[in-house]
Amino acid sequence: MRADRLLAWSLLLLAIGTPTFALAAKVAKKQSLFSQGQQAMDELEFVRAAKLFKGAIQTLKPSEMGRGPELDAREALVLALYQSKDIDGAAAEYNALKARFAIFRFAAGRITPETVAAIEERAKSLRPASNEPVAEQAASIPSSVIVVSPGAEPRASQNVSVAPQQLKRPWHWYYLAPLGVGQLLAHSPVRGTLFAVLQVGLIASNIVLAVMFNAIVERDGSSSDPVRGAALQIAMNTTFFAAIAAVVAGTIDGAAFEP
């Protein structure tokens, strides 16, 4: 294959990979803290999700306090802490949630009754994490919240030990991104680094070899050093097809082994 064509294909691979990297990074950073927390929950990153939900609560607008956005963030924080096996933290935040929204109940089917019982039982043994006044309004309670009828007695909780629910991490299209970006976005830093170094190294090597080859090629197409030219030609072909194979391997890894 001619050197100019190899160089053109290498530059094309680099041109495709760069905007893909930018697009994938934009997708990852565009979301709000709450949305990032939900994605972290889907990906089983419960500790990171809890930090994001705490940040979401701290950045709420005054108009969102005491309403649906605050309730959703606090409920998600409780579940994230529980899934991360921080039972005391989940119980403390549950007390804070109840202090803000006294009639809150977890929606039926959202989490198991045993999980609710475990959180409520531990919360009873802890002091409330917040003494802020209750500011909820009936109109602000989303449909996912169960309101207890007046006079109804809450069901007694049993002291049970429940393991966090096992969730399946979803697959995202940007795991197919080249240059190791897909693996890094899927929280596989080792494979992401390996694919990034391999693919970028092969593409860069191919470009350097093409420049070296063109430096010894005359205008009539002949080479001033035929032996060296032949060696460079073989090296260019090898690095070019190896780069293609590395990109394909990274795509297969992103499709089949991520998450």
Phi, psi of 207 (to 5 degrees): -65, -45
In 10 A of CB 216, how many CB atoms? 14
Contact criterion met (CB below 8 Å) for 199 and 247: yes
Find the mean pLDDT for residues 142-151: 40
Find the mean pLDDT for residues 71-98: 89
Top pLDDT among 2 and 43 is at 43
Phi, psi of 157 (to 5 degrees): -85, 145
pLDDT at 135: 42
Amino acid at 71: L
**pLDDT greater than 80 at residue 26:** no
**pLDDT greater than 50 at residue 71:** yes
Top pLDDT among 18 and 225 is at 225
pLDDT band at 139 (very low <50, low <70, confident <90, very high): very low
In the chain, what percentage of residues exceed pLDDT 70?
69
pLDDT at 202: 92
**pLDDT greater than 80 at residue 62:** yes
**pLDDT greater than 70 at residue 131:** no
Top pLDDT among 178 and 146 is at 178
Residues 192-244 have pLDDT tens digits of 899 989 999 999 998 988 888 888 887 776 777 888 888 888 998 999 999 99
Mean pLDDT of the chain: 74
pTM of the model: 0.42
Residues 36-46 have pLDDT tens digits of 888 888 888 89
Highest average pLDDT, of 12-16, 22-26, 71-75, 213-217, comes from 71-75
pLDDT at 145: 42
Cα 76 from Cα 54, distance rounded (Å): 10
Residues 109-125 have pLDDT tens digits of 777 888 888 888 888 88
